[in-house]
């Protein structure tokens, strides 16, 4: 029987780390749906038409190099506002969610649009300043010239675009549990997420 965990939230809130840890804990598969939009965005930066790039996407494209840059993140959030792009990516995400072994999907619209019947919905958030600092430290590992102010501006611009788009805007599902990681270490955030999931699985 499938068991689906939807983890949504804004850029660099800790969704990815929490999702990976939760998937490992329960032995579930994990899909970072942001990678789908990043892969489309990176094709568009190379000249592709957005909806065509989304329709042509394959699972291998998700492991391409260079998808984690700030430039690709911005391109991803632009293509993510195009309804035809979002539509082309729905079936792949829903098929993943139905895996018999259990699935964790993280993104922006998993609990609201992709998997409205998910067994557990979490919305992971943190202040823009805390999120920018985390992303700054990540990006600094590959690009020492990155500036904190630029990362903060980038995070805020992307959040605004993701929240205000007409199609599948980022927002917590009405039945989502909000986890604010501003003052939490990663272990505490993961423990909270596991606690919420255990409640729904009836094992605590």
Q: Which residues bind ligand CDP (CB under 6 A)?
A: 11-12, 16, 33-34, 37-38, 73, 76-77, 80, 107-110, 158, 162
Q: Are strands 177-180 and 103-107 parallel, antiparallel or unpaired?
A: unpaired
Report the nearest approach of ligand CDP to the CB of residue 78 (Å): 8
Residue pair 172/156 in contact by the 8 Å Cβ criterion: no
CA distances from 189 to 34, 40, 127, 174 (A): 20, 30, 15, 21
Spatial separation of the C-alpha atoms in residues 142 and 137, rounded to whole Å: 10
Report the nearest approach of ligand CDP to the CB of residue 12 (Å): 5
- Closer CB to ligand CDP, 50 or 107, in the complex: 107
- Closer CB to ligand CDP, 30 or 158, in the complex: 158
Report the nearest approach of ligand CDP to the CB of residue 88 (Å): 13
- Closer CB to ligand CDP, 33 or 181, in the complex: 33
Report the nearest approach of ligand CDP to the CB of residue 203 (Å): 28
- Closer CB to ligand CDP, 55 or 201, in the complex: 55
Radius of gyration of the chain (CA): 16
Cβ contacts of 80 within 8 Å, gap of 6 or more: 37, 41, 86, 108, 162, 165
Report the nearest approach of ligand CDP to the CB of residue 161 (Å): 7
- Closer CB to ligand CDP, 80 or 197, in the complex: 80
Residue pair 4/106 in contact by the 8 Å Cβ criterion: no
Closest CA to 38 of 112, 108, 121, 128: 108
The alpha helices in 7-103, defined as continuous H runs, are 15-26, 34-45, 50-55, 70-79, 83-97
């Amino acid at each position: 029987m499938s068991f689906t965990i939807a983890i949504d939230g804004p850029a660099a809130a800790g969704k990815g780390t929490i999702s990976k840890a939760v998937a490992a804990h329960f032995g579930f598969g994990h899909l970072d749906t942001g990678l789908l939009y990043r892969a489309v965005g990176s094709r568009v930066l190379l000249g592709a038409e957005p909806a065509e790039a989304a329709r042509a996407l394959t699972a291998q494209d998700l492991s391409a190099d260079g998808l984690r840059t700030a430039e690709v993140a911005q391109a991803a959030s632009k293509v993510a506002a195009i309804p035809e792009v979002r539509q082309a990516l729905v079936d792949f995400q829903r098929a993943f969610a139905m895996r018999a072994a259990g699935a964790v999907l993280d993104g922006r619209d998993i609990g609201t649009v992709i998997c409205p019947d998910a067994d557990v919905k979490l919305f992971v958030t943190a202040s823009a300043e805390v999120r920018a600092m985390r992303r700054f430290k990540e990006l600094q590992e590959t690009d020492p010239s990155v500036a904190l102010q630029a990362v903060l501006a980038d995070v805020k611009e992307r959040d605004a675009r993701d929240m205000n788009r007409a199609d599948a805007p980022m927002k917590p599902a009405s039945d989502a549990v909000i986890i604010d990681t501003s003052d939490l270490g990663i272990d505490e955030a993961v423990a909270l997420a596991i606690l919420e999931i255990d409640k729904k699985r009836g094992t605590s």
